[in-house]
A and B are shown apart, each in its own frame.
Chain A
Amino acid sequence: MSRAIIPLLAGALLVTLQAGAEDLVSGLSQDQIQITSNYAGTDMVVFGAIESAEAGGGPRDVVVVMRGPDTDMSVRRKVRVAGIWINRDQITLHGMPDYYYVASTRPLLKMATAETLARYQIGLDNLMPKSVSTRTPSKAEPFRQAVIRSRARARLYAQAPTGVEFLSYSLFRTRIPIPATVPRGEYTAEVYLFRDGTVISAQTTPLFVDQTGLERRLYNFAHEWPFAYGLVTVMMAALLGWLSSFLFRRQ
């Protein structure tokens, strides 16, 4: 969480410094996503407007970053030992988001410098863990890239370089796909307004992804009363086994 707050504080600071010449308002189409038994993914619309926008001036750009809950990821590298591939080196990346999506009006490097993007952690190249379980950070780099590769394959990390569109001079909108495999937790939608390559305004909105209904109850049951949960599973299995021998004997 604190990671998400830092750029926001910085953003807020900038806004006050620039005397609120251009203010940003944004919203989400939903403030929570409920994972039900037939959840197959959904689209989240992030929209907004730049208030008191005056025509002219330098190019303006909007970046929308959707970030999932931070988690620790243990990344292991396989090596071949006696013909068999086994896990050998392991590095844990602390505080990587479970989900990350960045959409912008133009390709990121065309609208700001790499340093600016790195400061705000915008873009997959700038997505860094809070800390790593190794003293030499350079060693962790291939492991970080492996995470980005693997999450991108699962469509949990993605970049849409022209994903944000301006509907009018001040109105913008983007559509963010939330796949079926998204983890549960608190997400944030961060919206950045760039002018002449610097962030002049930023806003963040929380979003909750949670299981609901029976799924939620089963998940809680399994975690809070594991013994009873195991017993119920066994009883269900025994009952179905008994039922089948009973039913099919009748035929």
Chain B
Amino acid sequence: MEIYLPIAEMSVRWLIVLAMGAGVGFLSGMFGVGGGFLLTPLLIFYGIPAEVAVATTASHLTASSMSGAIAQWRRRAVDLKMAGVMLAGGAAGAFAGVYLFSLLRRIGQIDIAVSVGYVVLLGSIGGLMLNESLRAMRAAKAGTPPPPRQIERNWVDALPLKLRFRRSRLYISVLPPIALGFIVGILSAILGVGGGFIIVPAMIYFLRMPANVVMGTSLVQIVFVTATTTILQAVGNITVDIVLAFVLIVGGVVGAQYGVRMAARMPGEQLRLMLAILVLAVGARLLYGLVATPADVYSITTGLP
């Protein structure tokens, strides 16, 4: 059964799109990640134009982060003030990102920029995660608990414009959270990722937020940044396909629920190792696409100046 996507201006098999949404939703529920880094490349492999894939995934992330954010909100595990400060940076980042996105599109380098961005991002994050989880597993096998990370005073404390974040029990400068939000906003606009896998470690190690508010705060921030990105892409590039978004979201939210259940039955270390391998595999596939000799060295864009 075919369904016509009015913005991508092409027909796709809606069952395949639904299955992609459900599969990515399942993995994102299982690993507790947004799944943008999986969904965008998957849509591109399927033949959706890169610009539509990136922009539409942003709206998918709004939906998938929404249910998690609500659950965390009920547990009072959200530092709304921190999320607000990060969002200020995030909105600015999304603006800059969407502008950069249309610039890259005009000069015809958007596909390559998206692929290179992903390879760098997935390669480094995947490598770090693999390293971390292997070390933790080795330590667990040897019977010694993994060495706790030494948290010391760092350059973050030296910055001005300090603000008190009650829920996080922190008194820090607003500059690092704004900068963090800005980076994630750019990534969300150009790569169609929520950036949870950057925000969460950064909140823990840079901002030193207590673990119980990290997840909730990052989810709330992702909901708002991806919502901002969706609107900006719709206005700036007209690349958000609402029909594609709808099918992906319906598949995604259902898949996520089963993923969460699956995760409850698996040890955390094993999950993290699997996620690391998955991240690296997607990165490797994209790298292959960049270095392999293309079937046709010419590519065509219509209707652009």
Chain A residues with CB under 8 Å of chain B are 35-40, 71-79, 83-87, 90, 98, 142-143, 146-147, 149-150, 180-181, 183-184, 211, 214-216, 218-219, 222-223, 226-227, 229-234, 236-238, 240-245, 248
Contacts and interface: CB of A to CB of B under 8 A. Distances in A.
Contacts of A37: 3-4
Contacts of A184: 9
B37 to A, nearest CB: 18
Nearest to A249: B71
B109 A237 contact: no
B245 A215 contact: no
A147 B300 contact: yes
Chain B at the A interface: mostly helix, strand, loop or mixed? helix
A237 B4 contact: no
A35 B4 contact: yes
A223 B238 CA distance: 7
A234 B9 contact: no
A245 B66 contact: yes
A211 B257 CA distance: 36
Contacts of A98: 302
Contacts of B62: 234, 237-238, 241
A76 B67 contact: no
Contact of B240 (A77, A85, A211, A229): A229
Contacts of A216: 6
A234 B231 CA distance: 7
B2 A241 contact: no
Contacts, number: 185
Interface of B: 1-4, 6-7, 9-11, 59-60, 62-68, 70-71, 108-109, 112, 116, 223, 227, 230-235, 238, 240, 242-243, 245-246, 249-250, 253-254, 256-257, 290-294, 296-305
B64 A241 contact: yes
B36 to A, nearest CB: 13
Contact of B11 (A87, A150, A181): A181
A79 B249 CA distance: 38
B10 A237 contact: no
Given A76-B298, A237-B230, A244 B256 contact: yes
Contact of A230 (B4, B235, B302, B304): B235
B303 to A, nearest CB: 6
Contacts of B65: 241
Given A71-B302, A74-B300, A78-B298, 19 more contacts: A72-B304, A76-B299, A85-B112, A85-B292, A87-B109, A87-B112, A90-B108, A147-B298, A180-B11, A218-B243, A222-B6, A227-B235, A230-B235, A233-B245, A240-B250, A241-B249, A242-B66, A244-B253, A248-B67
Contacts of B294: 78, 85
A239 to B, nearest CB: 8
B246 to A, nearest CB: 7
B232 A72 contact: no
B301 A230 contact: no
B303 A71 contact: yes
A140 to B, nearest CB: 12
Contacts of A248: 67, 257
Sort A-B residue pairs by CB-CB distance and give the 5 closest, nearest first. A241-B66, A230-B234, A146-B298, A245-B67, A230-B231
A90 B9 CA distance: 24
A221 B129 CA distance: 43
Given A85-B291, A240-B63, A226 B4 contact: no
A240 to B, nearest CB: 5
Nearest to B291: A83
Contacts of A85: 112, 290-294, 297
A236 B245 contact: yes
30 contacts: A37-B4, A39-B4, A39-B11, A71-B302, A73-B300, A84-B116, A147-B298, A147-B300, A149-B298, A180-B11, A181-B11, A184-B9, A218-B6, A219-B6, A222-B238, A223-B238, A226-B238, A227-B234, A234-B227, A236-B249, A237-B62, A237-B245, A240-B66, A240-B249, A240-B253, A241-B62, A242-B70, A244-B63, A244-B67, A245-B71
B240 A222 contact: yes
A200 to B, nearest CB: 36
A142 B302 CA distance: 17
Contacts of A215: 4, 6, 243
A243 to B, nearest CB: 8
A84 B234 contact: no
A212 to B, nearest CB: 10
